[in-house]
Structure 1
Amino acid sequence: MTQSCHSASNAAPAAPAISTVTQVSPLIAAREAASSSALRSCTACGMHQLCLPMGLDESDMKRLDKIIGRRKVARDDFLYRIGDRFTALYAVRVGHFKTYQENLDGDRQITGFQMPGELLGMDAISTEQHQCDAVALQDSEVCEIPFARLEQLFGQIPHLLRHFHRIMSHEITSEQNVIMLLGNMRAEQRFAAFLVNLSSRYAARGYSSTRFQLRMTRQDVGNYLGLTIESISRLISKFRKQGLLAVEQRDVEVVDLAALKRLAAGAETCAPAPARAAL
């Protein structure tokens, strides 16, 4: 028999649910927020000696930190797109990025790979529009530095401006090196120079110079170096046979860094591995 609405209304009221949510006092919440903010500040960042705050004293670093925001970028998401309005520079705090340009036919040319402590977006300063796409190669985090406010700090902190000029000079030198890499070097030199460059950049960040992981795909490496993915695979196999590298998927061990540097400099060639004598 169906229960009537009248009988339902006479039922005993249900006991109130017991809340399991722990109340946090505003003071504790404020302390936790302040602690989290301190851990994410420039002074607490292990990359600050490679990044924009390099050489600043603590008071100037705090002034810089006040204008900086933090932004997380998921793997394969864009930090910015070509043609976007330029408003800020981005310092990589965690993770890796790649930048690339695309022509009208949809062909892409990778222009760089960025790691913690490096700046993105400097090529947009003159035109006030981003000149490339920037994509996260893994879940990453950047420090967002509003450029208009940064320019104001340049007038107040001369050392910050001088260091910014050094960063710009380094960017120009890097672009010139890429032009030489693509224009004058043999395929094996290009790949060796690429690995030596990664090695030195990881070493500068306190990581191993001989053991690291390639965050980019072989196709990305080939695109950057002007080589096919098949060429990259052949070079990896060749370098392994020569005892220069040990590779397991994306994990790379540089077995003979000195020889790799000589190869990158053109001081020697990567000859085929000698055949074993018959027993």
Structure 2
Amino acid sequence: MTPATIKVACSNCNLRELCMPVGMDADDLQRLDVLVANRRKVLRGDRLFHAGDTFTSLYAIRTGFFKTSVASEDGREQVTGFQMAGEILGLDGIVHDRHDCDAIALEDAEVCVMPFVQVESLSREFPVLQRHVHKIMSREIVRENGVMLLLGNMRAEERLAAFLLNLTQRLSVRGFSRSQLVLRMTREEIGSYLGLKLETVSRTFSRFSEAGIIEVKQRQVKILQPDMLNQIFNGAASCG
């Protein structure tokens, strides 16, 4: 598929507060418009980039939902993250100038393409942009550490509670409900990310539902007792 591309202005984007530095005035934002080369549409199931592709750009998600994944030696997929509107994809390619993972759209999506050469050039001109890029990279390191904690020390209930709390928190920043969400990923993909078998993920969802903590209708999830989820995440409660 040849992606459709159109010019976009950061200064007029309603997501700029999420993926652009805070504290820049309108004139500076207009000067940063050159940073975004175009928008690119990615259909559900298509890859934005593949592991091994030459790294050229960062991608700010404008609409849609992605997963990143790597292939194990035996060919199985290991999901490494889920990304939504306002978040940045492509940071994995900075180290070796090649992408280390696949980025796959979980629904029809659109990204803003930011050539990294221009990101580096403008970072020297705008220290606030450089700090913002460093902050994004630091956030990825913190996220990786959080995943390691999930996989290393937490029970299945704690892992799923942490996952749901994290999703609702990120969605609420974007103006969505803190208590209702649509899961764009499958139970199997959730299991891959959390280090759990599919059966364990399904069983844990059922436990949460039976305990009245959540209500599940296919991929729609309603958080009925967020305090209980927090208690489970902190190891202070169990739903049996």
- Inter-partner Cα distance in structure 1 for 2:224 and 2:231: 14
1:233 is aligned to: 202
2:153 is aligned to: 184
* Post-superposition offset of 1:216: 0.4
1:50 is aligned to: 18
Do the aligned residues in 2 keep the contact of 1:98 with 1:135 (CA within 8 Å)? yes
- Inter-partner Cα distance in structure 2 for 1:218 and 1:121: 25
Do the aligned residues in 2 keep the contact of 1:52 with 1:164 (CA within 8 Å)? no
1:136 is aligned to: 105
Structure with higher RCO (Cα < 8 A, 6+ apart): 2
- Inter-partner Cα distance in structure 2 for 1:54 and 1:253: 32
The CA deviation string for residues 8-62 of structure 1, in whole angstroms up to 9 with x for no partner, is xxxxxxxxxxxxxxxxxxxxxxxxxxxx96xx42233222111134432212211
- Inter-partner Cα distance in structure 1 for 2:13 and 2:191: 33
2:180 maps to 1:211: yes
How many residues were matched structurally? Answer: 234
Question: Could you say what secondary structure the match of 2:129 adopts?
Answer: helix
2:119 is aligned to: 150
Do the aligned residues in 2 keep the contact of 1:263 with 1:269 (CA within 8 Å)? yes
Do the aligned residues in 2 keep the contact of 1:92 with 1:117 (CA within 8 Å)? yes
1:255 is aligned to: 224
2:76 maps to 1:107: yes
1:170 is aligned to: 139
- Supply the AA of the counterpart residue of 1:197: N
**Equivalent residue for 1:88, pick from 31, 50, 57:** 57
2:27 is aligned to: 59
2:189 is aligned to: 220
Do the aligned residues in 2 keep the contact of 1:42 with 1:53 (CA within 8 Å)? no
* Post-superposition offset of 1:262: 1.3
* Post-superposition offset of 1:227: 0.8
What percent identity do the matched residue pairs reach? 48
- Inter-partner Cα distance in structure 2 for 1:43 and 1:268: 46
Unaligned runs of 5+ in 2: 1-5
2:102 maps to 1:126: no
Tell which structure's C-alpha radius of gyration is larger. 1
Do the aligned residues in 1 keep the contact of 2:21 with 2:129 (CA within 8 Å)? yes
CA distance 1:57–1:194, change in 2 (3 Å) = same
TM-score normalised per structure 2: 0.94
After TM superposition, the structure 1 stretch with the greater mean CA deviation from structure 2, 161-170 or 140-149, is: 161-170
**Equivalent residue for 2:164, pick from 195, 199, 202:** 195
- Inter-partner Cα distance in structure 1 for 2:20 and 2:136: 8
Tell me the C-alpha RMSD between the 2 structures.
1.3
After TM superposition, the structure 1 stretch with the greater mean CA deviation from structure 2, 48-57 or 82-91, is: 48-57
After TM superposition, the structure 1 stretch with the greater mean CA deviation from structure 2, 45-54 or 175-184, is: 45-54
Question: Could you say what secondary structure the match of 2:95 adopts?
Answer: coil
